[in-house]
Structure 1
Amino acid sequence: MNPFEEKPSRKAGEFQSWKSLYPKAYCKDETDAYTKVRIILMTGAEYEAVWFGHQFHRHCTDNDLRRELAVARRQEQQQQHQLAYLKPADETQLETTITYEQLAVDLTAILAQRDPDPYVVKALNFALLEDFDHLYRYADLLEMEQGIQAERLVGGYTEIMPGRPTIAHHRHPVDSVRRACNFKKADLLTMLDTCIITAAEQQTMNYYMNLGAFYPNDLGRRLYQEIGMVEEEHVTQYGALMDPSCTWLENLLLHEYNECYLYWSCFETETDDHVKKIWERYFDMEVGHLHKAAKLLQKYEDKEWQEVLPQGEFPELLRFEPQIDYVRKVLKNTVELTAGGEDYLPVDQIAPDSPFFRYQEAVNKGGPEAVPSHKIIWSYQEKNGEDYRYQTKKHPVPALADRTADNTQLGRMPETAKN
């Protein structure tokens, strides 16, 4: 599929009525977990498109161009709203959160296995183990407070057990800045992967930032606050990988191409007929946006789209499927890593006076007992004798196998060994 060779329908440029904009919500107990994952993924992609459009608008002096951006942005906004309202009213905040974290885990694992850039793969693998741990902690809160086992919500596709302990995720801001890719030389998959993961993590960060305070008790509110701060680290990391030398119009073209790619991937892999029609319709709309972006690039910068993208044909499509074996392998091999500057290394190789340890001391003041993500597990264990997990076999990291304890040392304390 080459979206530059597709002709968008006349309907692609239309605005939706209130009636058509408000969709039929999915059934939370019957809809496949990966359909829910795709909906959140595309909600995040549309939010990124809208937010990028606003930033472009605020940094553009040409009102004719600003009007072109405003039209596309309004359509993107309508798309984002319809996708967001596919979520049913009876799905709780915490149930939706489980899907957010499942998206983070499986998407990151998929991208890490296909991306040709070793540095990007390291970044993906690093954050993978943290989102995996977040899923575990939210799942224990869900079972403890609502009696719902998250294994049902994830469809059995994704394991739920400890990753790198959340207390170890709290790093100094300087350790979240990465080396940027050069999109003039990068593979198309790397260009897409960095865009996709940045938008997805940004959506998660915003969800926690905006809705965390609405949780009905302090235990949950504190957990959303803590993990929301970690998601900010992830957004900084992934955003840093994107090429900052791209012009605004080059970035616009890349955003629209990325949306075309994602909608086509969703359409080709969707199992829900109702949602599949939405993916098809929005792919058509994004083809129109892409063609417009290419014309604007040619008009204002005298560039053809081929000067920005190495090819028009889509690379391998994004397909959601279980990533259990890969996550286990990354857990076993890299759970003790932390970030030091622009690289990743075992925590015992970090200097004692490094920003990492100074930040750890500041935010974790009072010790692990003061850290919400670990208080959740201890509360659950105190009530039930052991934590809640969904795992297909023994944990690959012996230090994380004990269901009656919660490790607060891995990836954080130099003297700790994973065995």
Structure 2
Amino acid sequence: MGDRLTSIRGAAWKGFLRWAEDFAYDVSGLPMALRHIGKGQTSENIPPADYLHRFYAAQYWRLPMGPLKAAVSAVTWPLALGVATTIFTSRNGKLIAARSGVSVGKQVMGQVEMAARHAIAPFWYYMFELHLPERKKQAALYLTAHETIGPAYSLLQPQPGADGMDDKIWFAEHCHVSGVRAVPVLMHFSGGERQPLKGGSDVLPESDLFVKPRSGSGGHRMERWDYQGDGRYRNAFGDVLSRDELMDKLARQSLKDDYLVQPRLANHPELDDISNGALATVRLLTCRNEQGRAEATNAAFRMAIGNSVVDNFHQGGLATAVDLETGRIGIASDIGIRPDVGWRDTHPVSGATFAGRILPHWRDVMDLAVRTHEAFPHRIVVGWDVAMLKDGACIIEGNGKPDLDIHQRAERGPLGQSRISTLLAFNVQEALKAGKA
């Protein structure tokens, strides 16, 4: 009974910590809204980061219940900040102090300052290494999800029904029709049954498979099933199922959410020694430029570590910046909210050196992402996940609201003066002129 009670208390405490982190994240945008209140956002010749900050501030007050939300946030912000600062300092403080010479006390004060002046929550303080003096000087140039995934991306989204990028079945079919190489969908399960699928299969193929929800992102609820021969498949936990048993399992799962079966793709052989067997991908950001054409602006290469079957950055994977001209990668790190990994030039499992390598098929990767964006004419900005296979590049999926954290972390600096910031500000301004706000 005692052990069970302890377990319940532990789960409750972890749940509270997750809630506290999310709550701090939600209310931490208030200082930015206050700092830029009353500032115009349509004037020309202001830095793109300033423009996006001002746009966020203007939109904050226009939200339904905006003043009430601000009042509630003003009351809860100190509490949320205190809880978040405690959580992230306890995780990072001592080791960061040992590495950088910045004391734990100064880290605490730094988190409060960044939150109060720039709406940068403790989550981002450690991710962007703002304890370092050179990073702190650039704090105003960082773009957070407040401005991007929030108002900016919302304004730039196409009209409902313009395309089905978030639907993996629609996406695969559209890419096929458009002549774009993308991972196909082999089977679709919904409502407890296998559903008819254009170009799909009646039975699971005798090959390695990847199972994922029809909608969703971030690597959640995805499974890899490796073919063992004799009609049997094995997952990462060692479970072995027959073809019929696996199909029954997927049918049961689909009672709550639609599930898809896709072929498991294999990395280019040059990437085998810096992978745990999971597919390594490039997150390549494209945005429409002043001429209305898709332009590649940033790229990050991701590697899975541990037992993860996905390379998602927010699921503990490593990421490194990619030089757009050459495809050369550098040192890598995880998301940075725990200090264990740090920055490294070798893979933590294989020990293979990756810093300085040139990714295979790089020109193909770049061309494919830009060409795929042109097949989605209503999209302004997209984050493409692109795999490098033995015989070329392949699109895995497109993200209509791409997170910029991975690029600012991997590039070890803000994007506020970069090309993507300039293009986002330009497109927001054009949308406002067109009366889309």
**What TM-score bracket applies, with the shorter chain setting the length?**
under 0.3
Which structure is higher in helix share? Answer: 1
TM-score (norm: length of structure 1): 0.27
Higher relative CO (Cα under 8 Å, sequence separation at least 6) belongs to 1
TM-score (norm: length of structure 2): 0.26
Bigger radius of gyration = 2
Which structure is higher in strand share? Answer: 2
